[in-house]
Amino acid sequence: MTDRVLIADDEPNIVVSLSFMLKREGYEVLVAPDGTQALAMIRGERPRLVLLDAAMPGMTGFEVCEAVRADPDLSGIRIMMLTAKGRDTDIARGMGAGADAYVTKPFSTRDLIVRIREMLA
Amino acid sequence: MKPGLRRLLLVAAPGLALVLWALAGAVLFGAALPPDQRAGLGAALAPALHGSGAILFGWWLAGAALAGWLAVRLHARHVRAPARLADAARLLADNADAPLLQADAPGAPAALAEAVNRLAGQRQTLRTDMARLVAEAQQKVAQERDQLGALMAELRQSVVVCNLDGRILLYNDHARGLFHRVSGGQPIAGGAELIGLGRSIHAVIDRALIDHARETVDRHIARGDMAVSAQFVTTTPSGSLLHVVLAPVRPQGGAPDAISGYVLLLDDITRDYAAQSRRDRSLTELTEASRASLANMQAALDMLDYPDLEPAERDGFHAIVRDEVAAMGQRLAAMTADASQEILTRWPLQEMLGDDLLAAAAQHVLAQTGRVAKVENADGELWLRLDSFSLIQALGALAESLSGPQGMPSLTLRLAPAATPGWAHLDLVWPLDPAAPPAGASGCAQAVTRDIAERHGGELWLEQDRPAGLSFLRFLLPTAEAGPEAAALEARPEFYDFDLFAASDSSRSLDDQPLERLAYTVFDTETTGLNPGQGDEIIQIGAVRILNGKLLGGERFDQLVDPGREIPPESIPYHGIRPEMVRGQPRIAEVLPAFHAYASDTVLVGHNVAFDMRFLQMKEAATGLRFDQPVLDTLLLASIAQPHEPSHSLEAIAARLGVEITHRHNAAGDALVTAQVFLRLLPLLGARGIVTLGQARAEAEHSYYARLRY
């Protein structure tokens, strides 16, 4: 069974590239344009990994992350924050909220796919 | 006993004593004789007494007169003269200006009088010396206070000095302006309702914050630190941010922990803070947006590396890169357009009227080059934000560098608003000389001055106006919205009262306090008529404050009020307020809170004040503001101080007490006259034993006028 990955980001320009890459890598890709829909999809579709942008309309990525970690039903889901917020305090907040990894934009897609493979291994 | 009777007794007593003595001798002699001899002696003496008794009586009379005269002389000399001397000496002891002692007899009393007089003379000399020393010291202190007051007035920082109870004993005009601005800028009373001598600073700054800062200061002092000030930032009800530095006032050479008060240095950092926040925010936004764009481009470029892309997919990723490049460009453009000024202007600039800048610059150019520069200003109302010193120095240096082989060209300094809003042009103009292009005018002089232009966030360039035959160096300078708070204050306001250092919130009730030590709000109102119950309204409130027996001319309350109804034409002669004067003025619901704050913690004083109080009390229900402080009426006080005068109208009292009336029937003018009258009534009341507020109120209640009316 292929692993399901949710990309939650309000910027289509990154979503296009990421979903293209992940599909080529053989993952099933879901897309959510804001935090609220992302949380709904996480509950409904149970992806194994969420690539979560921190700054989204509706719920922010941090809030989505906190909500997922607060729900025991969703305990197996891995979360990778992918965000332009690069200050130390932002990283601390993301890790504190329960993210498994925090990647600051811009990033190399090659490194990213390596990390995704490791997380889903 | 009456003096006459006593004198008679004094004269008669020796005669009486003589006759008693003789009689007692005769009785004793008779009693010692055997009875038959006594009878014989009696029989022998009786005819002789009968015949020559007159001689014996005359002898006795002469003796009695002589003894009486002697007794009077002795009494005068040894009893009455010393008693008189003692009285005079006592008088002299109580009152140094009493006449010196004069002994009316030579000898011992005269010597005594002289000794007392010498003592009195020495005392007089001592007293004069003391008075001179005290006067000198007072003059010196007054001078120092005046210097301090002048210094405070000129300081650009807001300064407030408080005693330990938080009562303000000194502030400067900047502090008043600051509190006026941060109080929400209501144009009522110019901030005098918030800041004033004797008022509590806690009305504007939370007591807990000040207490906390004072604890910090105490800790610094206890540790023996050199710097003992504390700082904090507080918000005001209007949302302004104040940065406050608190430093203790410590007596020189006294115990280090003996603090008598504290100095507050206040800064309104709202604008700076907002600007800094905006700068930070736009920087963060720019960084984050750029990171996101870069990520999008990087990801798209990474995808383009896949060799087997469909043409449509390839075009899609290309489009993403182009899209992001455009978005980044737009963001940068927007950012430079709107924030460049804020990012660049960190040099402290001050606000200055364009005319003042031109005058100062022309003077400096004259000193530097010996050439009188013409001055042109297109807009006399133009205010600039600048570093005037370095700008004027730069203009002087530039003008000097224009000197060519033909000497100094004619110069003009020209100021005009620029086409870009918020900017102005300052030009240094000289005639265009086609033969000698002004290469020397730029070069090194410009390199220095360019810095100065950039310090203003502006620019500097050389421009030529060929049709007009002029060259000019043009500074682009930022304009200011208006000048700093114009200090439109009359005379020299009282911004300090150091007597408050000694004052302390007493546990005694107000009624026990001496009238001289209290804070008063002396006020007057003008109204549309006499019956608040039938819809008459206040149209003006005027008030002044009295503190420690001094009239605070700088803390006036003077406010017209829109009554929300017509002003009867027949009332206008009484107050001089025409309907158009109250149009656009605040309503009583806005004015009364300000006046309530202004009058808080003071005793209200007015002339025939019951009338004004009725109008204030009518509004209590609507505004929820109660004026429940003690009230004194100068009409009643005057009737107590001068009970035999026929009239106690304000004019009559003022005339009697030598108070000049300037603006009668103007609330502020009447309040001022009432205050002066009140101050002159205080010593008259004191002479009648009315010293405390309680006594004054009790007497007023019992006064003739009060009984007449109530």
Is-contact B674 B522, C-beta < 8 A? yes
**Using the beta-carbon criterion (under 8 Å), do B288 and A20 form an inter-chain contact?**
no
> Using a CB-CB distance cutoff of 8 angstroms, which residues of chain B are in contact with residue A21?
299, 302-303
Q: What is the DSSP string of A31-94?
A: EESSHHHHHHHHHHH--SEEEE-SS-SSS-HHHHHHHHHH-GGGTT-EEEEEES--SHHHHHHH
Q: How far does A104 lie from chain B, in Å, by closest CA?
A: 8
Tokens representing B703 are 């006064």
Residue at token pair 């300090």: B496
Write the DSSP symbol of residue B485. -
Interface of B with A (CB under 8 A): 287-292, 294-300, 302-303, 306, 313, 316-317, 320, 323-324
Nearest by CB to residue A17, choosing from B292, B300, B323, is B300
Write the DSSP symbol of residue B201. G
What is the interface size between A and B, counted as CB pairs within 8 Å? 62
Q: What is the pTM of this model?
A: 0.54
Is-contact B82 B105, C-beta < 8 A? no
Q: Tell me the pLDDT band of B319, cut-offs 50, 70 and 90.
A: very high
User: Among B348-352, B445-449, B467-471, B573-577, which stretch is predicted with the lowest mean pLDDT?
Assistant: B445-449
- Mutate one of A105, A110, A112 to test the B interface: name it (highest B CB count within 10 A): A105
Whats the size of chain B, residue-wise?
710
Catalytic residue among B75, B220, B665, B702, which? B665
> Using a CB-CB distance cutoff of 8 angstroms, which residues of chain A are in contact with residue B317?
16-17
Q: What is the pLDDT of residue B132?
A: 94
**Using the beta-carbon criterion (under 8 Å), do A86 and B288 form an inter-chain contact?**
yes
Q: How far does B297 lie from chain A, in Å, by closest CA?
A: 8
> Using a CB-CB distance cutoff of 8 angstroms, which residues of chain B are in contact with residue A110?
302
Between CA B512 and CA B530 the distance in angstroms is: 35
Residue B442 confidence (pLDDT) above 70: no
**Using the beta-carbon criterion (under 8 Å), do A14 and B296 form an inter-chain contact?**
yes
Q: How far does B233 lie from chain A, in Å, by closest CA?
A: 24
Active site residue B78: no
Q: What is the pLDDT of residue B576?
A: 83
Burial class (CB in 10 A: 0-12, 13-18, 19+), B568: exposed
CA atoms within 13 A on the CB side of B21: 9
Write the DSSP symbol of residue A99. -
Residue B347 confidence (pLDDT) above 80: no
Nearest by CB to residue B295, choosing from A24, A55, A107, is A107
Between CA B339 and CA B279 the distance in angstroms is: 7
Residue B31 confidence (pLDDT) above 60: yes
Q: What is the pLDDT of residue B667?
A: 86
**Using the beta-carbon criterion (under 8 Å), do A17 and B303 form an inter-chain contact?**
yes
Between CA B674 and CA B659 the distance in angstroms is: 9
Between CA B269 and CA B477 the distance in angstroms is: 24
**Cβ-proximal residues to B593 (8 Å cutoff; 6+ apart), any chain:** B623, B625
Q: Tell me the pLDDT band of B502, cut-offs 50, 70 and 90.
A: low
Q: What is the pLDDT of residue B490?
A: 38
- Chain centroid to CA B512: 25
**Using the beta-carbon criterion (under 8 Å), do A24 and B316 form an inter-chain contact?**
no
Nearest by CB to residue B320, choosing from A17, A24, A106, is A17
Residue B507 confidence (pLDDT) above 50: no
Write the DSSP symbol of residue B418. -
- Chain centroid to CA B655: 27
> Using a CB-CB distance cutoff of 8 angstroms, which residues of chain A are in contact with residue B281?
none
**Using the beta-carbon criterion (under 8 Å), do A13 and B323 form an inter-chain contact?**
yes
> Using a CB-CB distance cutoff of 8 angstroms, which residues of chain A are in contact with residue B300?
13, 16-17
pLDDT by residue (tens digit) across B124-145? 899 999 999 999 999 988 888 7
**Using the beta-carbon criterion (under 8 Å), do A21 and B303 form an inter-chain contact?**
yes
pLDDT by residue (tens digit) across A76-97? 899 999 888 877 888 888 888 8
pLDDT by residue (tens digit) across A13-67? 999 999 999 999 899 999 999 999 999 999 999 999 999 998 888 888 888 998 9
Interface of A with B (CB under 8 A): 11, 13-14, 16-18, 20-21, 24, 55, 82, 84-86, 104-110
Between CA B293 and CA B528 the distance in angstroms is: 70
pLDDT by residue (tens digit) across B632-652? 999 888 888 887 777 888 888
Between CA B692 and CA B700 the distance in angstroms is: 12
Does the ipTM surpass 0.90?
no
Q: What is the pLDDT of residue B489?
A: 39
Between CA B76 and CA B114 the distance in angstroms is: 19
**Cβ-proximal residues to B580 (8 Å cutoff; 6+ apart), any chain:** none
Nearest by CB to residue A86, choosing from B291, B300, B302, is B291
User: Among A52-56, B101-105, B278-282, which stretch is predicted with the lowest mean pLDDT?
Assistant: B101-105
pLDDT by residue (tens digit) across A58-79? 888 888 998 998 888 888 899 9
Q: What is the pLDDT of residue B488?
A: 42
Of the ranges A29-38, B175-184, B577-586, the best mean pLDDT one: A29-38
Q: What is the pLDDT of residue B699?
A: 85
- Taking each helix axis from N to C end, the angle separating A88-96 and A61-70, rounded to the nearest 10 degrees, works out to 20
- Residue B371, H or E segment: none
Nearest to A6 by CA among A108, A77, A63, A103: A77
Burial class (CB in 10 A: 0-12, 13-18, 19+), B502: exposed
**Using the beta-carbon criterion (under 8 Å), do A17 and B317 form an inter-chain contact?**
yes
Neighbours of B37 (CB within 10 A): 11
